[in-house]
Copies of this chain bind each other. A is one copy, B any other.
């Protein structure tokens, strides 16, 4: 059976008004129209459905069983209809919706949870979708719209805006029992001859370059032995005694068993930022940036 694309939700509202008043004249008035066209509307609905919805004998109006059912269903449809309109506005205003937040464990330790918590308090109806990604993929995903925002290292291209979330610096981690583990502080020269574990430049260039530069500035040529892609793996390999690593200091706050953190003399520092597309179609992003700004201050 091919439906009634003639009938629409306005007709439904008319019917609901009639069903609630059981009076054509008053129902018509409620719909801001006169009674005759209103009667035609109802007749039109019944005609199109091929179903009698109201029993009327010019003195009493009552609902047929089909009419009772249609009333209940119509109320649901209209409520959902209005909710759809309201939701569209809420999403457009950034009060509701989804926000895909990318982050990289290389940078996100500590900052992402705090950011997420604050944001969720401010916008409880925005569902945050967290996606861990490698740093070099983040820019492209932001430009392509696969991410709405991301927490990663500065700096970034002109198509992207960034807000500083925190300033982090490199720290040394070594296996427990390692010759350097007992030191309070070490310099670049002390690192000569030790095997390094670090993400490759194709994954985390900011970190990788900082590590290399730190060595080279002291005339030490760094020797990388393993190059895993994930921050977690780096710490794990260190824990297993396979080498040492220079990692963001925030990572050291939750170290695995068997790994010791040692401060670096004159450590390289870098910004951890919230990056967003210069023009974002998602209205939920702006308040996230605002939260990030406040986070930096307080």
Which positions in A face B, CB cutoff 8 Å?
1, 3-5, 7-10, 12-13, 49-53, 55, 64-67, 69-70, 73-74, 76-77, 80-85, 87-89, 91-92, 96-98, 281-284
**Given A69-B87, A84-B73, A84-B77, A8 and B10 contact (CB-CB distance below 8 Å):** yes
* Copies of this chain per assembly: 2
Q: What are 25 A-B pairs at a CB distance below 8 A?
A: A1-B89, A8-B8, A8-B9, A8-B10, A9-B81, A49-B88, A50-B89, A55-B281, A64-B92, A64-B281, A65-B98, A65-B281, A65-B282, A66-B88, A66-B92, A66-B283, A69-B87, A70-B84, A70-B88, A70-B91, A73-B80, A73-B88, A76-B80, A77-B77, A80-B80
**Chain B residues with Cβ under 8 A from A50's Cβ?**
89, 92
Nearest CB of B to A31, in Å: 8
Minimum CB distance partner of A97 in chain B: B65
**Chain B residues with Cβ under 8 A from A284's Cβ?**
65
**Chain B residues with Cβ under 8 A from A51's Cβ?**
88-89, 91-92
Whether B77 pairs with A80 at a CB distance below 8 angstroms is: yes
CA distance A91 to B65 in the complex (A): 7
CA distance A80 to B70 in the complex (A): 11
CA distance A53 to B92 in the complex (A): 9
Whether A7 pairs with B66 at a CB distance below 8 angstroms is: no
**Chain B residues with Cβ under 8 A from A281's Cβ?**
55, 64-65
**Chain B residues with Cβ under 8 A from A52's Cβ?**
92
CA distance A12 to B284 in the complex (A): 24
Whether A74 pairs with B84 at a CB distance below 8 angstroms is: yes
Closest 8 pairs (CB-CB, A-B): A73-B84, A8-B8, A66-B92, A51-B92, A9-B9, A66-B91, A70-B88, A8-B9
**Chain B residues with Cβ under 8 A from A83's Cβ?**
73
CA distance A52 to B281 in the complex (A): 10
Nearest CB of B to A60, in Å: 12
CA distance A97 to B85 in the complex (A): 31
Quick one: which of B55, B82, B97 contacts A69, CB cutoff 8 A?
A: B97
Whether A53 pairs with B88 at a CB distance below 8 angstroms is: yes
